[in-house]
Amino acid sequence: MIDQPVAPDPPGSLGPAPIVIVGGGIAGLATAYECVRRGVRPVVLEAGPRPGGVILTESVDGFLIDAGPDALIAQKPGAIELIRELGLGDRIQTTLEPRTSFILRGGRLHALPEASVMGIPTRLLPLATTSLFSWPGKLRMAADLVLPRRANGEDESIGAFMRRRFGDEAVDYLAQPLLAGIHSGDVERLSMRKLFPRLVELETRHRSLILAFRRAPARPSPDGIFRSLPGGLEELVRAVMAALPPATVRARSRVEALARGDGGTWRLSLAGGGALEARRVVLCVPAYAAQALLAGVDPALAELAGEIGYVSSATVALGYRREQVRHPLAGAGFVVPAAERQCSLMAASFVSSKWPGRAPPGMVLLRAFIGGARNPELMALDLDALASLAERELGGLLGIEGAPVLVRAYRWDRSNAQHEVGHLTRLARIDERLGQLPGLYITGSGFRVTGITDCITDGRATAAAALT
């Protein structure tokens, strides 16, 4: 974990700072990095004791635990480009083989059929032979080949889109645990057009998604789709911090209020007293935190930000001696469809099978995900109870004997933004209102993007827009 000492007053205290960034998660840090690259020294005000936001890596007894996110998507350039710029290109890790993911059905873990893109079959033979779907379910999925395209272009939920094309079983056993599961969200509420625009576009252009993937086969990278660093994802945070001038990030500096200052500047009031003037402000905080800050500036904009939902989740890391676990752990992990009511986990990673160097020799590291839109009531449990739940359920599924040698549980309250149906319209209205507030910008995972890679790209683009 990064130790971030409280930094002294920033240069802005002598006059308006050129740019103040509120929030030191990856979006705020990427924004700051781009400012520095363009020759402008920013001030980053972070409420918590350390930078990185939900990115947190801990090293405990030889185990390396990513407590929040653990993987960067390699298909989009944002994170990998930044890692290379920071001189860490030769440290990029790929996932270990086999990269199989499993889906729980009927108490058994079934491998996700080969030849699929985000679970959607790209060839019929692997679909026909998988034990994951029933025969009626398979035939309904294959009906995508002949079904017409949708007549209107309105937004719809992931569930509605996948049900139209592939039927209920594909919603229950693919869309819900995989597509909505990435966001810990509700498959019937998350926006297809916002989160999976490529699939929407494929339907518009080719009608059938299976045909579209056959006509233009996805060329999967031989290295898989995820990347990390040997120090976990906090290594990226440390590297960005090292690229910023000293004292750029002021930890334990919660911004309590934002108001217009004199001469077109902005005034930021800090919790516990003190204020800063800035020529430009970039909000890189969760949307509900942005709502509070915007209330005195533009109530309508604040209300729009407040409409963006969040869900809470927990992760539990469990370490075992290899011989305690009967399951071969030959893959990256598994997801649990909500329809499988006997298991209350959302998913689990076989961390030490997925990444090199995460467990000491002879040991394995597992990680369970709990809560989300699916089981919000579980978030009332304390960390010990969450850990016991994960231990019990993983124990049953993977044939684990005896007590774990390592247990760490982490709570992520209101940390997963939910881009629901209507989010794109809301974003357009947010942008319209922001256009009336010169010098004020917003980025981060509640708004245009989710996920680390896109947060980096959007943070950098926002810095560029603010400085031109």
Ligand X SMILES: Cc1cc2nc3c(=O)[nH]c(=O)nc-3n(C[C@H](O)[C@H](O)[C@H](O)COP(=O)(O)OP(=O)(O)OC[C@H]3O[C@@H](n4cnc5c(N)ncnc54)[C@H](O)[C@@H]3O)c2cc1C
Residues that bind ligand X (CB under 6 A): 22-28, 45-48, 53-55, 68-73, 254-255, 284-286, 289, 313, 315, 412, 415-416, 444-445, 450-453, 455
Least Å from the CB of residue 234 to ligand X:
11
**What are the DSSP calls for 359-411, one per residue?**
S-TTEEEEEEEEETTT-GGGGGS-HHHHHHHHHHHHHHHHTB-S--SEEEEEE
In this complex, which beta carbon is closest to ligand X, that of residue 73 or of residue 437?
73
Instruction: Provide the minimum distance between the beta carbon of 73 and ligand X in the complex, in angstroms, as a whole number.
Output: 6
CB of 142: closest distance to ligand X in angstroms?
32
Instruction: Tell me the sheet residues that pair with 227.
Output: 72, 94
Distances (CA, A) of 253 to 5, 44, 121, 203: 12, 9, 49, 47
Closer residue to ligand X (CB): 333 or 395: 333
Q: How are beta strands 440-442 and 275-283 bridged, if at all? A: parallel
- Identity of the residue, 150 or 254, whose beta carbon is nearer to ligand X in the bound complex: 254
Q: How far is the CB of 253 from ligand X (least distance, A)?
A: 6
The residues, any chain, with a CB within 8 Å of residue 31's CB and separated by 6 or more, are 21, 42, 282, 284, 443, 459, 460, 462, 463
Q: Give least dist CB 33 to ligand X, A.
A: 12
* Spatial distance between the Cα atoms of 449 and 459, rounded to a whole number of angstroms: 10
Cβ nearer to ligand X, comparing 217 with 296: 296
> Cα(425)–Cα(52) distance, rounded to whole angstroms?
29
Using DSSP, state whether 175 is helix, strand or coil.
Answer: helix
Q: State which residue, 18 or 48, has the beta carbon closest to ligand X.
A: 48
Provide the minimum distance between the beta carbon of 43 and ligand X in the complex, in angstroms, as a whole number. Answer: 11
- Is the preceding peptide bond at 299 cis, omega within 30 degrees of 0? no
Q: Which is nearer to ligand X, 137 or 444 (CB)?
A: 444
Q: Provide, rounded to whole angstroms, the least separation between the CB of residue 212 and ligand X.
A: 25
Place of tokens 């920071």: 86
Nearer to ligand X, 202 or 308 (CB): 308
Least distance (Å) from ligand X to the CB of residue 279?
A: 19
Angle formed by the axes of helices 78-85 and 26-37, to 10°?
A: 50
Residue among 356, 395, 387 nearest 370 (CA): 387
Q: How far is the CB of 372 from ligand X (least distance, A)?
A: 9
Number of continuous H segments (helices) and E segments (strands) in the chain: 16, 21
| Residues linked to residue 20 through DSSP beta bridges, in sequence order | 43, 281
Q: Which is nearer to ligand X, 73 or 160 (CB)?
A: 73
Q: What is the H or E stretch that residue 109 is in? A: strand 108-111
Taking the least distance from each CB to ligand X, the nearer of 187 and 284 is: 284
In whole angstroms, the minimum distance from the beta carbon of 403 to ligand X comes to 25
Residue 405 φ/ψ region, left for φ over 0, alpha for ψ in the -120 to 50 degree band, beta for the rest: alpha
- Please give the backbone phi and psi of residue 85, each rounded to the nearest 5 degrees, phi first: -60, -35
- The DSSP output letter for 191 is B
Token representation of residue 339: 């329809």
In angstroms, the Cα distances linking 155 to 159, 162, 191, 212 are: 12, 13, 7, 21
Shortest distance in whole angstroms from residue 230 CB to ligand X: 16
Q: Are 17 and 278 in contact (CB under 8 A)?
A: yes
Of 45 and 132, CB closest to ligand X: 45
Q: Are the CB atoms for 446 and 419 separated by under 8 Å?
A: no
Query: Considering beta carbons, is residue 88 or 127 the nearer one to ligand X?
Result: 88
Closer Cβ to ligand X, 141 or 417, answer by number: 417
Shortest Cβ 391–ligand X spacing (Å): 19
